Amino acid sequence: MSTSAVAPAPPAPSTPPVATPQRAARSRESLLAAAMTAPAVILLIVFFVVPVLLMFGLAFTNARLISPRPPSVVGFDNFLTLFTDSYFWASLRNTAYFAVVVVPVQAGLALVLALLVNAKVRGRNFFRTVYFIPVVTSMVVVSLLWRFIYEPDGLLNQVIRAVSFGYWEGTDWLSNPATAMPAIMLMSIWQAVGFHMVIWLAGLQTIPGELYEAAALDGASRWGMFRHVTWPGLVATRTFILITITISACSLFTQISVMTQGGPLDSTATVVYMAVRTGYEQQSTGYAAAVSLVFFVIVLGISLVQRLLTRERG
């Protein structure tokens, strides 16, 4: 009796996976997200990544803004010259002086204003608008306005003469080395405090109201509520504010360029102003790139230290 082997049936052809509606929706969302972020990414590359890479390259050359000679590599000569440049050290001291004063004062004043406008009082929207108006005003316009205020016959000296009944005539605030930088500090704090007030205000509104109710039931005072509820709830906000104010203070330029041009006697010169003047007025772009590179490393180090000191523990 013979048996015939049955041949196995051939495997069925594989069918391509059918796209589900969820997968198609995710693909559309990814394309839409890429299209929306593309302009910002392009601007970031063109105006940040490319200049930073050029700065790293030019810092080691003797490139000039306008010169018939092509730039050549000079190694660390620009940095050796920079570290022996008295104007650089004076600019660095002025920048540090400005940042050390402005950062805590501006952050603290902005927090006080945020606490005031966050209270449930009549007209708080009006005060929020008033405090924020200087922020949306051009820094050049603000600098020109305050330069007129600080003139010998300006508004500030007239108020001083009126209040003191002519006993004190005031001074030429921007031409006096002892008062030029404090005058710029006052103007800078006034102009930017509204912006950081809004950031503090946003942080305050993220703190749950139940925490304040529980603290009130426990008999906590206003200071106790601020110390044990408000301040711990603003950890992320204060880290962001301190870093942004520090970076803004270290990049001080517009006020100096409009109001004092680094004077008198280099008492208001800053590192950013030095870099711009060296690169454009003196046309030494290689040396200006070295200044910018050193300052970039300094500011980056300060920001990292601030981030480590103000981060939330455990």
Mean pLDDT of 156-181: 90
- Summary mean pLDDT of the chain: 87
Q: Is the dihedral of CA 215, 221, 222, 226 positive or negative?
A: negative
* 188-233 residue pLDDT tens: 999 999 999 999 999 999 998 898 888 888 888 888 899 889 998 8
Considering the domain architecture, whether residues 147 and 286 belong to the same structural domain is answered as: yes
User: Does 116 map to a domain?
Assistant: yes
- Structural domain including 50 reads 28-57
Considering the domain architecture, whether residues 114 and 179 belong to the same structural domain is answered as: yes
More confident site: 144 or 126: 144
Considering the domain architecture, whether residues 290 and 204 belong to the same structural domain is answered as: yes
Considering the domain architecture, whether residues 167 and 276 belong to the same structural domain is answered as: yes
CB contact burial 264-280 (16+ within 10 A = b; e otherwise) = bebbbbbbbbbbbbbbe
How far is Cα 74 from Cα 60, in angstroms, rounded to an integer? 6
Structural domain count of the chain: 2
Considering the domain architecture, whether residues 37 and 146 belong to the same structural domain is answered as: no
Q: Which of 291, 274, 272 is CA-nearest to residue 58?
A: 291
Domain boundary among 57, 74, 96: 57
User: Does 100 map to a domain?
Assistant: yes
Considering the domain architecture, whether residues 195 and 293 belong to the same structural domain is answered as: yes
Q: What CATH number corresponds to the domain at position 201? A: 1.10.3720.10
Whether omega for the bond prior to residue 264 falls within 30 degrees of 0, making it cis, is: yes
Considering the domain architecture, whether residues 193 and 287 belong to the same structural domain is answered as: yes
Q: How far is CA 34 from CA 19, 24, 41, 193, in A?
A: 21, 15, 10, 35
Mean pLDDT of 58-87: 90
User: Does 231 map to a domain?
Assistant: yes
Considering the domain architecture, whether residues 113 and 188 belong to the same structural domain is answered as: yes
Considering the domain architecture, whether residues 145 and 52 belong to the same structural domain is answered as: no
Considering the domain architecture, whether residues 270 and 217 belong to the same structural domain is answered as: yes
Considering the domain architecture, whether residues 38 and 139 belong to the same structural domain is answered as: no
Domain boundary among 57, 78, 106: 57
Is residue 287 within 8 A of residue 278, CB to CB? The reply is: yes
Given a cut of 80, whether residue 2 has pLDDT beyond it is: no
The pairs formed by 44-48 with CB atoms below 8 angstroms and a separation of 24 or more are none
* 138-168 residue pLDDT tens: 999 999 999 999 998 989 999 999 998 888 8
Considering the domain architecture, whether residues 225 and 292 belong to the same structural domain is answered as: yes
DSSP state of 130: H
Amino acid at 138: S
Half-sphere exposure of residue 180: CA atoms within 13 angstroms, side-chain side: 21
Enter the pTM of the model.
0.84
Contacts of 169 (CB under 8 A, 6+ apart): 157, 160, 161
